[in-house]
Amino acid sequence: MKRFMAMLNRNENTDPPPTKLLDLAGELCEALQSFPPALEKLVGVIMGCKHKMHLLTNIHVVRACVHVHVQSGQHDTACRLLEDCKAGEKEELVQLWHEIHYQRVMEKHKRDFLTPLQKFRCRKRYPPPLSLCPEGLKTRSYPEEIRQQLHRFAAEVTANPDKKQREGLARDMNLHPTQVYNWFANYRRRRKS
């Protein structure tokens, strides 16, 4: 910590700061995960220094800052930090975004955990910003063309294809047979209700 503080003070007017400083900040954040008071002090220093945005390019620094803010109930600050940070690990940033909102919902409803359905609803209610997902969230639904083919097969042939038919459809549409099986099971379930 002393070495980091000395290096930070020495490079206060250097823009951008040396890579060694960024690496040291990441190593410190990772090492202090199990020492909350020291981590809080380090995060306070990072958040108050003029190289904050450069330091927030390191995923370990981002994770530590988010963790400290969430633990102190500053969910909005943690969200803004994620929106503004320039770390390259977008998937991990999206996961941190979801974790912040899970924690917020658990605190609001005084729960120790969320069920998968509650997590799903939370993700739908609080989607990550475009700065974290510039291409948008990945969806698991099939492209329109594939859905049309599956609907046509269900209407013209059968809504309950046998194994051979499912394998043929999967081959034609570049899907796995299990995906075709699940699509038809869901299709029949939707038609029933």
Mean pLDDT, range 112-135, rounded to an integer = 87
Question: Over pLDDT 70: what percentage of the chain?
Answer: 96
What the block records as the tokens of 54 is 């450069």
Least confident range from 68-77, 79-88, 102-111: namely 79-88
Sign of CA dihedral 130, 135, 141, 145: positive
Question: Over pLDDT 90: what percentage of the chain?
Answer: 42
- In order of their start, the domains of the chain are 1-132 (no CATH), 144-192 (1.10.10.60)
Query: 0.75 exceeded by the pTM?
Result: no
Mean pLDDT, range 76-89, rounded to an integer = 88
How confident is residue 79, by pLDDT bands cut at 50, 70 and 90? very high
CA separation (Å) from 26 to 60, 90, 96, 154, 158? 5, 17, 17, 54, 57
pLDDT of residue 16: 82
Residue 134 has pLDDT above 70, yes or no: no
